Chain A
Amino acid sequence: MAPECVSARRYRGRAFCAIFGLIGLLATACGGTGGGATPGPSTTLVDATNISAIVTLDPNQSYEDLSYDHDMYSTLVTFNKADTTKVVPSVAKTWNMSSDGMSWTFHLSKGVTFANGDPLTASDFVYSIERVVNLPKNPAAWLVTQMGITSSNVTQQVTAPDSSTVQIKLTQPVAPGAFLDIIAFPTTAIVDSKVVKQHESNGDWGHGWLDDHSAGSGPFVLDRWDRGSQIVLKANPRYDLGPRPSITRAVFSNVTESSAQYDLLQKGQADVATGLTYQQMAQLAGNSKYKVVSQPNLSLEYIGLDVKNVPAFANPLVWQAVKYAIDYKGIVQQLLSGNAILNQGIVPKGMQGYDSDLPFTQDVAKAKSLLQQAGYGSGFSVDMLVPTGDISGIPASDMASKIKSDLAKIGITVNPRQLAASQLYTTYRAQQAQMVLANWSADYPDPDDFAKPFGDYGQKSLAWRLNWNDPSLAQMVNKAGTLPNGPERNNLYKQINEYEMMRGPFVILYQPLLTYAMTNHMQDVSINPIFGLDLLSVSKQ
């Protein structure tokens, strides 16, 4: 027995040695990389954020998240930092509109160059617009084609009489404000036509290459995009359209879990986090090392009532009843912990035509009597489509439960049906919804982008999806869509807002906030409601 014991022990000893040796090796390899809370170089910014939804960085095709393209490309005109109601010069130093509003001429600054040193000329802009309308499967092209500029007429409508002049002739009237907003958008950003043409293959207008490369004249260039992992921008040393950024390297690290974002921020391995829960933000707000910065997002959370699929919703009194049944303050203050602002109009705060009136507060008795008048005193039941995932930082199901309980108080039984976006929008777009909890955000920051979807059935957008056709409202909306910014346009939008509030099947719940949590090292923070954190102005101490 004795020899066996010895050798068995030796054998076990070897196995344990191997295991602990391995663990030791791991520990050695990991030594010192756990990271204390050091903020990293002051010229590098790390943003822990979710970039899973980014599918392309080609500016002429970007539609969902425009902040990266905004940082890498210039446009003829741009927004005044965080104020999206004011358009200011960028590549174009001046511009003028013909008296009938159908023709625009832009005069470009001389000496503007792309990041590679190529001169930026008017023909680069013309090429960029040609790309927008010609790129196949381009979800953003409609921003330009809605102005009557299409793949068949673009070469006649958008021209470069000389290297520093751009002329755009519209084929249908567009409000000057809306037109400039679209021209300020990254969709119409100027790409280096010389470089992109070199990378064209099989008539793809260089999209395959520009998908994950940059060829712009913005303050940053694309250093690398490791899909699913990170987007890294580095400063463009040739940027000459304004002061250069103090951040020379910006890393957008793909961290989808809020808990992981929170940990990285606390460990000093991220400077900014963009997807924290309200509890996490509240914890940070009580700590002097961090700050939480927010700005009203140009979007609205709403409930849509289908006026055809639910007989009760054919009666406008029922819309009113629903509007009086909702506890707006409870939603904003309790459910969203104050991370939203009350807004009941169809134009968000931060845009021309915004109306701060709040005619509805929860009044169960009034709501019940309105239902009674409509002949639905005993209530009815309805399916509500709800997206999966989060709404404004809380689970969508929590929001649905709140609405269900508010409407239950007046006898309406809401059955929430949670569906993935692809499924929800298939049903909604097929005009098959009964009631829907959804969001509308600005495609471009002009009230036209809200008034038309919410008010004009002919647009085949929200009003159409809910089978609501109100020709008199559509007339007002279309008229406002052609007026220049000014008192007349503002008054008309005020009327449209009131009309929608009192006589529309949309229950506007609130306007969400765009919120960033960051370490106190971050200074000069400015949040643009469309492009997010302004990399040009931000600095790190």
Chain B
Amino acid sequence: MFLQFVARRLMLMLLVLFGITLITFVVSHVVPADPVAAYVGSQAPQGVVEKVRHEYGLDQPLPEQYLVYLGGLLRGDLGTSIHDDRPVATDIATYFPATFELAMAAMVIAIVLGLPIGVIVATRKDKLVDHMARALSLTGVSLPVFFLALLLLAVFYVKLGVLPGPGELSPYTQPPPRVTGMMLVDTLLAGDLPAFQDAFSHLVLPAFVLGFATTGIIVRMTRSSMIEALRQDFVRTARAKGVGRYRVVVVHALRNAMIPTVTVIGLAFGSLLSGAVLTETIFSWPGLGRYATESVVTLDIPAIMGVTIVAAFTYSVVNLVVDVAYALLDPRITY
């Protein structure tokens, strides 16, 4: 049954990905602009534009271009970027690890802060700490990312000087050889502890900024489902049996309250990947968000499609993992 469920979900995922390629392709071509105009620049003679357009196959009919693209995709080829003339897969492999590292760090911060705070305020409903947490969550959700980013940079970097500025490493730090593309991992692999420390401190602010909104959501979601769970009969029974408060809250209530929270975490991961665009711009983070922005500005259709497919794929996989996690959390759920 379980395998059948996973297989069905994978089939659905393929369908979703196919739909996404079609929509992205159509939307990209509706824009009355020519990616070649961006590639050759504003000055190249007209003959160059026509030559390059032909070399990229952009003078072919649209359905044919789409079929060629799809054919390539089935062979695992994401096409060639019109902006930098490199395989899109190579570009994505270049930029994705930095975003992944940032999103994972943001996720860790959001979970490590959000879950305990959510649990605490649920046990202290309508007390001062609850109101404070509510204000914090609301701020997290409603504060624009770029504002928070600039604010924190101004305070912790410019004024206090306790955290470093934009970038993955200080300009004077020799970067490690690229292995995974994730700076924390690569500095560790190189055995370069000062560089690791530098990379770690560079990650703190952007990860916090990116994870702040998610922290707010997790706090609110954990709080409400915990309050719900703490009212349940089994909690009262457990207390009546004399089970310790800590065990009641963490083992009995929290585990049951986790399902909505896990759903939110799964959904949040998608928004972390997309929210990374602004954070990456302000923190000069060499990630996929920056690549995506550049692709849209230059109307680099293969790159736009590639980024969309990768984002959709990651999102689908995370949500599949979330669905599988339900069964682990709640044995009553079967597939």
Given A36-B161, A139-B41, A260-B166: A55 touches B84 (CB 8 Å cut-off):
yes
Interface residues of A in 259-276 (CB under 8 A from B): 259-260, 263-264, 266-267, 269-270
A438 touches B42 (CB 8 A): yes
CB of A459 within 8 Å of the partner chain: yes
Q: Which of A260, A263, A420 meets B299, CB within 8 Å?
A: A420
Are the CB atoms of B86 and A253 closer together than 8 Å?
no
Contact A426 B112 (CB under 8 A): no
Instruction: Tell which of A142, A257, A429, A461 touches B37, judged by Cβ atoms closer than 8 Å.
Output: A429
A213: min CB distance to chain B, Å: 14
Which residues, 219 to 269 on A, are CB-close (under 8 Å) to B?
224, 226-230, 251, 253-257, 259-260, 263-264, 266-267, 269
- Does A29 lie within 8 Å of B168, measured CB to CB? no
Interface segment among A8-16, A166-174, A332-340, A516-524: the answer is: A8-16
| Complex alpha-carbon distance, A15 and B119, angstroms | 9
Q: Closest B-chain residue to A27, C-beta based?
A: B162
Contact partners of B281 in chain A: CB under 8 A: 256-257
Query: Within A34-90, which residues are at the interface with B (CB < 8 Å)?
Result: 34-36, 40-41, 44, 46, 52, 55-56, 63-64
A427 contacts partner chain B, Cβ-Cβ < 8 Å: yes
Residues of B within 8 A of A12 (CB): 120, 123-124
Within 8 A of B (CB), among A2-28: 3-4, 7-8, 10-12, 14-16, 18-19, 22, 26-27
Does B4 touch A at the CB level, under 8 Å?
no
CB distance from A131 to the nearest CB of B (A): 14
Q: By the criterion CB–CB under 8 Å, are B297 and A421 in contact?
A: yes
Query: Interface-forming stretch among A102-110, A186-194, A398-406, A439-447?
Result: A439-447
CB distance from A201 to the nearest CB of B (A): 13
Within 8 A of A (CB), among B1-59: 31-35, 37-49, 52, 55-56
Tell yes or no: B171 within 8 A of A by CB: yes
* Separation of A211 and B170 alpha carbons in the complex (Å): 25
Q: Is the interface of B mostly helix, strand, loop or mixed?
A: helix
User: For residue A421, which residues in chain B have a CB less than 8 angstroms away from its CB?
Assistant: 37-38, 42, 297-298
A-B contact number at CB 8 A: 213
Between A and B, 17 residue pairs with Cβ closer than 8 Å are: A11-B250, A18-B112, A22-B112, A55-B83, A139-B40, A142-B47, A227-B286, A230-B171, A230-B175, A253-B284, A260-B282, A260-B283, A263-B166, A270-B171, A421-B38, A422-B298, A426-B32
Closest 7 CB pairs of A and B: A228-B286, A423-B33, A229-B286, A34-B161, A55-B84, A422-B38, A460-B46
- Taking beta carbons and an 8 Å cutoff, which residues of A are in contact with B? 3-4, 7-8, 10-12, 14-16, 18-19, 22, 26-27, 29-31, 33-36, 40-41, 44, 46, 52, 55-56, 63-64, 136-137, 139, 141-142, 146, 211, 224, 226-230, 251, 253-257, 259-260, 263-264, 266-267, 269-270, 419-423, 425-427, 429, 438-441, 443, 453, 459-461, 464
Task: Beyond A12-B124, A253-B284, A423-B32, list 9 extra A-B contacts (CB 8 Å).
Answer: A27-B162, A33-B163, A36-B161, A56-B84, A228-B287, A229-B167, A269-B171, A439-B42, A441-B43
